[in-house]
Chain A
């Protein structure tokens, strides 16, 4: 497991330099960006890159020819994503601190939650689709979002009062805890789904 997680670092040695410069760039040239977004980009960077590399059929053949089970390959992807998220967010936090860019722990927590939700949807998709189709799917997703936005907004408008009342009724701690529970829950469900897909994948 550790070897499979470490593999991503070996492959991305050079991209990591780019990673640090990306954060510094954001700090200097995008002063108004919410720190949440910076943490989110930082946290997703290594995992997203790793997927591009492992999406290639050849690397799947390699990994599956080595003494690893498919279960282990998926597990290392999900655990690896968490490990790299924590490390990169810590690193981003360090860089932001050095450059005196204001943020608090809540920003990190929200970014982590968003990352879990984003990963929960993206990871199984990556296992189903060939990398070449990911662009198409994202494009279609955007169109669906654009079309679906209006009805969704109308729905929210109508029921906003009920929703805000419900949320306002919760204590802040409760709110964050349930947010975290949902994010982590989705991530775990996604893990099970990915494993199911990957077991049946043909190379």
Chain B
């Protein structure tokens, strides 16, 4: 399986925040969800991917190429949807198309007008009158019109109403159907990912905690509930974080198999959602996620 994006030991430091030794692979032909709390480093990682920021150390490769000397070629094949509007807001879509279309070799007007119709976007209204959802659709239409192989979306579902969010997820599923496209999107609405993501990348405080298939994540992680007298030094090692009440405990584990062997029927094992993982990982004492 080929990697569309590869980060090798990438480090980027700011005054009050840093990404340390990021290793990341995005697999071709799949949807990879990028989760993490606000300020965990999602946008910084995406900016590194777009070469809006340059890494202090390490290597960023897109389509197997470095940005140095290949910037045009890489960006020809990439589509982007940012969490805020990047289009000139006083212009309408017709004019934006006039600016963006000639930038791409692969631009296809027919596809553009096709998506404008499907997304029900007005061509003659200024972008500033667009709702958040419309702006997002406009960006997506642009990315699809030049047949981007890799589409990067920063928080596309944030601030959208639930109906439209579902619609968007359906659209994304549609555009993935031919298997040629790769989608990478960041979100903190984890239920979106459970619907469409094949891979999950989890970032916390500038570090990637895991970068695995959805199936792996679901098999490895679980919520464990049981009586508090089961907790001792050995059993506690199985848990990433434990929450106790007077009689019971509830904990997140990343080693379901071992929990089953050690504690067996004495505990209740429940499937952990991504949100559970995010929540427990945040307060974890030992970072062996």
Binding site for B on A (CB under 8 A): 3, 6-7, 10-11, 13, 53, 58-59, 61-62, 64-69, 202-203
The number of residues on chain B lying at the interface, defined by a beta carbon within 8 Å of a beta carbon of chain A, is 28
Q: Name the B residues within 8 Å of A7 (CB-CB).
A: 99
Min distance, Cβ B147 to any Cβ of chain A, angstroms: 13
5 further A-B pairs in the complex, CB-CB below 8 A; given A64-B50, A67-B73, A67-B104: A58-B87, A65-B82, A67-B71, A67-B75, A67-B76
Please determine whether B72 and A65 come into contact, CB atoms closer than 8 angstroms: no
Q: Which of A10, A66, A202 contacts B95 (CB 8 A)?
A: A10
> Given that A65-B52, A203-B53 are contacting pairs, would A10 and B99 also be in contact in the complex, using a CB cutoff of 8 Å?
yes
For residue B52, which residues in chain A have a CB less than 8 angstroms away from its CB? Answer: 61, 64-65, 202-203
CB <8 Å contact, B86 and A62? yes
A127 to chain B, nearest CB (A): 15
Task: Report A-chain residues with C-beta under 8 Å of the C-beta of B71.
Answer: 67, 69
The answer for the CA separation of A7 and B85 in the assembled complex, in Å, is 18
Chain B hits for A59, CB < 8 A: 86, 88
The answer to whether A66 touches B103, judged by C-beta atoms less than 8 angstroms apart, is yes
* Cα–Cα, bound, A11→B89 (Å): 10
CB-defined contacts of A58 to chain B, threshold 8 Å: 84-87
B228 at the interface (CB under 8 A from A): no
Q: Mark B38-71, 1 if CB is under 8 A from A, else 0.
A: 0000000001001111000000000000000001
Q: Which residues of A have CB within 8 Å of B88?
A: 11, 53, 59, 62
Residues from chain A with a CB closer than 8 A to the CB of B80 are 65
Q: Is the CB of B103 within 8 A of A10?
A: no
- Kindly state whether residue B98 has any CB partner on chain A within 8 Å: yes
Evaluate contact between A10 and B98: CB separation under 8 angstroms: yes
The answer to whether A3 and B50 touch (CB under 8 A), given A62-B86, A65-B80, A69-B71, is no
Closest to B100 in A: A66
Task: State the CA gap A198–B73 with chains docked (Å).
Answer: 20
A118 CB to nearest B CB, Å? 25
Cβ of B179 < 8 Å from any Cβ of A? no
Q: Is B102 an interface residue (CB 8 A)?
A: yes
B105 and chain A: residue at smallest CB distance: A67
Partner of A68, one of B86, B87, B103: B103
Between A and B, 20 residue pairs with Cβ closer than 8 Å are A3-B99, A7-B99, A10-B91, A11-B88, A11-B95, A58-B85, A58-B87, A59-B88, A61-B86, A62-B87, A62-B88, A64-B52, A65-B52, A66-B75, A67-B75, A67-B76, A67-B103, A68-B103, A203-B47, A203-B52
8 Å CB contact of B53 from A13, A62, A202? A202
Partner of A65, one of B53, B86, B99: B86
Tell me the nearest residue of chain A to B102, going by C-beta: A3
Q: How far is the CA of A62 from the CA of B138 in the complex (A)?
A: 13
In the bound complex, residues from chain A placing their C-beta under 8 Å from that of B87 are 58, 62
| B-side contacts of A64, CB under 8 Å | 50-52
Q: Which has the most chain B C-beta neighbours within 10 Å: A11, A62, A64, A202?
A: A62
Q: How far is the CA of A65 from the CA of B72 in the complex (A)?
A: 10
The distance from the CB of B10 to the nearest CB of chain A, in whole angstroms, is: 16
Q: Which residue among B75, B78, B86 has the maximum number of chain A CB atoms within 10 Å of its CB?
A: B86
Which residues of chain A are near B100, meaning CB under 8 Å? 66
A11 touches B75 (CB 8 A): no
A13: chain B residues at CB < 8 Å are 95
* Whole-angstrom CA separation of A11 from B100 in the bound complex: 12
Tell me, rounded to whole Å, the shortest Cβ–Cβ distance linking B68 to chain A: 10
Residue of A nearest to B95 (CB): A10
| Chain B residues whose CB sits within 8 angstroms of the CB of A67 once the complex forms | 71-76, 103-104
Closest 8 CB pairs of A and B: A67-B75, A62-B86, A3-B102, A66-B103, A203-B52, A67-B72, A58-B86, A67-B76
B-chain residues with CB within 8 Å of residue A65 when the two chains form the complex: 50, 52, 75, 78, 80, 82, 86
CB-nearest residue of chain A relative to B53?
A202
B91 is contacted by which of A11, A61, A66 (Cβ under 8 Å)?
A11
CA distance A7 to B100 in the complex (A): 9
B contact residues around A6 at 8 Å (CB): 102
Give the CA-CA distance A202 to B50 in the complex, in Å: 12
Q: Which residues of the partner chain A approach B99 to less than 8 Å between Cβ atoms?
A: 3, 7, 10-11
Please report the C-alpha to C-alpha distance between residue A67 and residue B78 in the assembled complex, in whole angstroms. Answer: 9
Please give, as numbers and ranges, the residues of chain A lying within 8 Å of B90 by CB-CB distance: 11
Chain B residue, CB-CB nearest to A7: B99
Q: In the docked arrangement, what's the CA distance between A6 and B100, Å?
A: 11
What's the nearest-Cβ distance from chain A to residue B151, in Å? 12
